[in-house]
Amino acid sequence: MLSEKPWNLEAIVRLLLGIFICLCLGSTVVSGLHYAGHAGRERLAFFGMMAGAVVLLATALVVVSRRWTVEKLLQRLWIMLVCLSVGLSFAAGAQKLAGRPSEASSGEQMVVAETAVLLFFINFLRSHRLKWSDAFGLANRRRHAFLLGVAVACIFLPIGERLQWISAQAMTHFRMEPQEQQAVHALRVTNELSSRVLLGVLAILLAPMAEELFFRGMLYPAIKQAGHPRLALWGVSLVFACIHFNLATFVPLFVLAILLTALYERTDNLLASITAHALFNTFNFVRLYLLDWQLGK
């Protein structure tokens, strides 16, 4: 049974703002790494706006990660809004000068964004003076939680594949073309080993940790403790499936989210959900990589 967690509406709102800022930071930083515009004033303008965007968005991130007391609520909200709005304006200007990013760089954007999200989580917990073991039960029967996560991942893998195949067939029947997920497409379009390694780190480590910390670790218990256990289970699972923006994988991801939530409930240790999620992604990444390698022979 899941124990009481220290999350409330104020913390969840700040967390959502922090994740949004992290996504913007990831896109801005990667744009700077791949800038190929003209030298001279345009280059200076680009890097000036990019630096301004990074500083302002990072400042907004720090403000969001700290607790908002009633006395300082308006002050911190004002600082956050100014930094966020001006930072996004600078980021938009820099993006306009940089042009449309390549498809291969989308994986790098996700890696930078997920890394920023994890760093934000660390600072977020520190500001609440919480230990990871207390916040997510990571000290509760670790071996049992790990093995149960492995078992669920192995059992769900063929089920998930079948559900995705059924979804693809249903889409084809209704004359809808199934699309690949963004990370899968990024893996197919890049030929560089370093980019593939980055995508592997994203799929196997960063994404499972960041997504489980937010969806199962914080959002689910916060809604459940507010008196809405059914909304917590079905609603959070629905949002988890939707944020991957892929109709063909919606059903298997929705079922996976329910299983991951049940794992967290049963073990009271988020390690179980992270392990199952990471192994599921690992199986799919290895299978995709091997299939892509065989087709390229």
Query: What pLDDT score was predicted for residue 171?
Result: 87
| Interval 89-111 mean pLDDT | 73
When pLDDT is cut at 50, 70 and 90, the band that residue 297 belongs to is very low
Q: What is the pLDDT of residues 156-189, one digit of tens each?
A: 999 999 998 999 888 888 878 777 666 666 666 6
Question: What pTM did the predictor assign?
Answer: 0.85
Mean pLDDT of the chain: 84
91, pLDDT greater than 70? yes
104, pLDDT greater than 60? no
Query: What pLDDT score was predicted for residue 150?
Result: 96
CA distance 158 to 114: 27
Distance (Å) of CA 290 to CA 156, 280, 283: 20, 16, 11
160-164: list long-range contacts, CB under 8 Å, 24+ apart: 160/252, 160/255, 160/256, 160/280, 161/252, 163/251, 163/252, 163/255, 164/248, 164/249, 164/251, 164/252
Query: What pLDDT score was predicted for residue 180?
Result: 65
Distance (Å) of CA 22 to CA 90, 162, 263: 15, 34, 28
Q: What is the pLDDT of residues 126-143, one digit of tens each?
A: 877 888 888 899 889 999
Query: What pLDDT score was predicted for residue 101?
Result: 61
Query: What pLDDT score was predicted for residue 291?
Result: 60
Query: What pLDDT score was predicted for residue 107?
Result: 65
| Interval 56-79 mean pLDDT | 84
More confident call, 232 vs 113 = 232
Encoding tokens for residue 278? 């990471």
Q: What is the pLDDT of residues 2-34, one digit of tens each?
A: 888 878 777 888 888 888 888 888 878 777 776
Query: What pLDDT score was predicted for residue 190?
Result: 67
270, pLDDT greater than 70? yes
Q: How far is CA 34 from the centre of its chain?
A: 22
113, pLDDT greater than 60? yes
Nearest Cα residue to 289 out of 204, 196, 207, 206: 196
Q: Which residues have CB under 8 Å from 124's CB, separation 6+?
A: 14, 15, 18, 65
Query: What pLDDT score was predicted for residue 173?
Result: 81
Over pLDDT 70: what percentage of the chain? 87
| Interval 35-64 mean pLDDT | 83
